[in-house]
């Protein structure tokens, strides 16, 4: 129920922001100097701004900008555009259907909390299981030149984005592998981090227990391992009240 609510809230915020802007446009129509596509883009931009003020993540900005255009020109959008959009979404949300793990990203405050965990653990190797756009890995590699930071990811476009990020940052101690989390050898890492979903938690923890060395740390963002008490919980001072669950192997 909670997860359904979490999925619906952003869409409600989109509806509210688009609705407020549409109402304003209809009300002030006579005095608005622009019309046509320009007005629709301006409408989308204003809704995107309101959405950000309501706490929507930057990912929603392009969606908010395109929505009024898509609604106004739905009849002229060619059918292939929907197929192309579907393919792009599939290449991004590759693991949503099979693994029931969507794409959402660890925020900067949580990167900093992980930075502290790495220092306290005196870790020399780290892996992010399902490394998304590579933010965690590149941040930690940059902050800890002595750390080997690795990410594994199988969503094609997301993986590509993380490789491009790394090319731009040129961090010799960071790497991304196109590999399933289930194929990664966890014995090589002092800290194993994941931000997945409730579904894979029991299986991934079994794998961690079987492969990780004694004394190393398994860290899960937001999702606990059922029936296993974490050794520590880090409460991050961010808007979504992130919790990191730390399990000592």
> Is residue 175 part of the contact set for ligand SAM (CB under 6 A)?
no
Reduced to 3 states, what is the DSSP secondary structure of residue 225? coil
Q: What are phi and psi of 194, to 5 degrees?
A: -145, 150
Size of the site for ligand SAM (CB under 6 A): 24
- Distance of closest approach, residue 110 Cβ to ligand SAM, in angstroms: 8
Position among 14, 147, 152, 244 found at the interface with ligand SAM (CB under 6 A)? 152
> Is residue 113 part of the contact set for ligand SAM (CB under 6 A)?
no
> Is residue 132 part of the contact set for ligand SAM (CB under 6 A)?
yes
Which run of H or E residues covers position 245? strand 243-248
Nearer to ligand SAM, 44 or 130 (CB): 130
Residue whose C-beta lies closest to ligand SAM: 130
**CB-based burial, 96-132: b 16+ in 10 Å, e otherwise:** eeebebebebbbeebbebbbebbeebebeebbbbbbb
Beta partners for residue 178, in sequence order: 153
Nearer to ligand SAM, 51 or 132 (CB): 132
Position among 47, 114, 118, 181 found at the interface with ligand SAM (CB under 6 A)? 181
Using an 8 Å Cβ cutoff, are 111 and 139 in contact?
yes
Q: State the binding string over 218-237 for ligand SAM (x if CB under 6 A, else -).
A: --------------------
> Is residue 155 part of the contact set for ligand SAM (CB under 6 A)?
yes
Binding site for ligand SAM (CB under 6 A): 94-95, 99, 101, 103-106, 128, 130-132, 135-136, 152-155, 158, 180-182, 195-196
């Amino acid at each position: 129920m909670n997860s359904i609510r979490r999925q619906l809230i952003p869409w409600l915020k989109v509806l509210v922001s688009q609705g407020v802007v549409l109402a304003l446009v209809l009300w002030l129509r006579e005095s608005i100097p622009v019309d046509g596509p320009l007005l629709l883009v301006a409408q989308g931009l204003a809704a995107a701004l309101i959405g950000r003020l309501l706490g929507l993540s930057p990912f929603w900005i392009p969606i908010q900008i395109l929505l009024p255009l898509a609604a106004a020109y739905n009849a002229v959008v060619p059918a292939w555009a929907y197929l192309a959009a579907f393919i792009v979404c599939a290449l991004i949300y590759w693991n949503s259907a099979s693994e029931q793990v969507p794409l959402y990203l660890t925020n900067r405050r949580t990167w900093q909390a992980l930075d502290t965990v790495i220092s306290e653990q005196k870790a020399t190797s780290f892996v992010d299981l399902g490394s998304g756009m590579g933010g965690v890995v590149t941040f930690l590699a940059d902050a800890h030149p002595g750390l080997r930071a690795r990410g594994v990811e199988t969503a094609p476009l997301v993986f590509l984005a993380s490789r491009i990020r790394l090319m731009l940052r040129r961090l010799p101690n960071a790497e991304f592998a196109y590999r399933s989390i289930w194929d990664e050898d966890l014995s090589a890492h002092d800290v194993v981090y994941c931000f997945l979903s409730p579904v894979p938690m029991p299986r991934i923890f079994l794998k961690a227990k079987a492969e990780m060395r004694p004394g190393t740390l398994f860290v899960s963002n937001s999702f606990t391992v059922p029936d296993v008490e974490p050794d520590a919980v880090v409460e991050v001072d961010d808007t979504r009240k992130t919790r990191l669950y730390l399990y000592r192997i």
